[in-house]
Chain A
Amino acid sequence: MTDTETVLKALMLRGLAGDAKAHGELLATLARHLRAFFARRLGGAQVDVEDLVQETLLAIHLKRDTYDTAQPFTPWAYAIGRYKLLDHFRRQGVRRAVPLEDAGELIAAETTEEGAVRRDLDRLLSDLPERQRALVQDVKLTGHSIEEAAGRQGMTPGAAKVAIHRSLQRLARKVRQ
């Protein structure tokens, strides 16, 4: 646990300092841990696992400024995963307890293989203005930087950055509906 915590926290701090590669690596590692964690907690309902992973990654990303860098990282990430799991249970109309303080469970196991999603995020973005959607698709599929993608879509980098961030916020709202 200590090692994983050290690695994750270092990635988080670098990500917060603007290191996109570290941020991506952090999210990829968290995705593997979240996948294993949700799969165990959801038991039979495996079909929702990948959706929950995506929803939680979005939340972790959009709320990353609420991480207090003086604190350990894993409990913060676990709290978000736990919150999204409980929110999922609540929306399903089931009552189930998940221990409040068990950050160790989050990083105890990993699942690399992506499950199927029920809710397609692309579809949720389909009502975006055409150029904005093309921008999202370009960044997502090619891994181009926002600056490059902006050039291809004929947007300024500043406008493209805002457009991407807004699209993500919109996604986060829509996955909860």
Chain B
Amino acid sequence: MRTDELITLLSRDAPSQAGRRFAPLLLGAGVVGAAVSLAVLIAWLGMRPMHEAMRSGSFWMKAAYTTLLAASGLFVTTRLARPGGRAGAALWIAALAIAWLATMAGMETMHTPAAGLPRLWLGQTWRVCPLRIVALSLPVLAAALIALRRMAPTQPALAGAMAGLFAGAVGATVYGLYCRETAAAFVVVWYSLGIAACAALGAAIGARALRW
């Protein structure tokens, strides 16, 4: 087929088309994925009593941290979804959230006697926390990557990583409805590790599945 024939063919397939708005699509994928994660959490680990959680500062600290990371991942992925898109300033939201929690962790450390430090940083669940977060993130990651495939990321691995950041942070938010760990030191290490693992998974999958 000659190129001018191809162009003729393409020009006949040109219905009027509104631009695709990706942020609502990705947000929708996040909501659907989070609903599945929540169902998995309830069936698997159960939720902690909410009246108790709502009164604990650490519950809100965790929720704020993971929500900020999710928002950062959402904005950055939205930008990377279009040809030529750059990560942009929204990545700073994640950086600031990490810096904020690391500062809180440093303050906790200063106020904790040496003997209490392992408990502060490792909590009671450090062995299982990152893996559980990754597991709860998988439905969100799948939904986010499916949404991304309808777009045209020109940096597929990076776009996949940022979709993974978004998914990991949403998964971690869901996990926060169960988790009773209270220390910022714990969260900044083990929550972040789970979320980072999800981002790495997103990058690995994205590098293949998001090509077009």
Contact = CB atoms under 8 A, between A and B. Distances in A.
Contact of A17 (B1, B9, B16): B16
Main secondary structure of the interface of B (DSSP, over half): loop
A16 B152 contact: no
Contacts of B152: 59, 63, 66, 80
A71 B34 CA distance: 32
A17 B17 CA distance: 6
Given A68-B19, A75-B84, A161-B15, A24 B10 contact: yes
A31 B7 contact: yes
A61 B84 contact: no
A64 B151 CA distance: 10
B44 interface: no
Nearest to A172: B212
Which of the four size classes fits the interface of chain B? 20 to 34
Nearest to A74: B84
B1 A63 contact: no
Contacts of A114: 2-4
Contact of A16 (B12, B16, B151): B16
Interface residues of A, number: 54
A18 B19 CA distance: 12
Contacts of A63: 83, 151-152, 212
Given A15-B14, A24-B8, A66-B22, 20 more contacts: A17-B16, A24-B7, A27-B11, A28-B4, A28-B7, A58-B6, A58-B10, A64-B17, A66-B20, A66-B82, A66-B152, A68-B82, A76-B84, A122-B1, A139-B8, A139-B12, A140-B9, A143-B8, A164-B12, A168-B13
Nearest 6 Cβ contacts at the A-B interface: A79-B84, A24-B11, A18-B16, A79-B83, A121-B1, A23-B14
Interface of A: 15-21, 23-24, 27-28, 31, 50, 53-54, 57-59, 61, 63-69, 75-80, 82-83, 87, 114, 117, 120-122, 136, 139-141, 143-146, 161, 164-165, 168, 172, 176
25 contacts: A16-B16, A20-B14, A21-B11, A23-B10, A23-B14, A54-B1, A54-B3, A54-B6, A63-B83, A64-B17, A65-B20, A66-B20, A66-B22, A76-B82, A114-B2, A114-B3, A114-B4, A117-B1, A121-B6, A139-B12, A143-B12, A146-B12, A161-B15, A164-B9, A176-B211
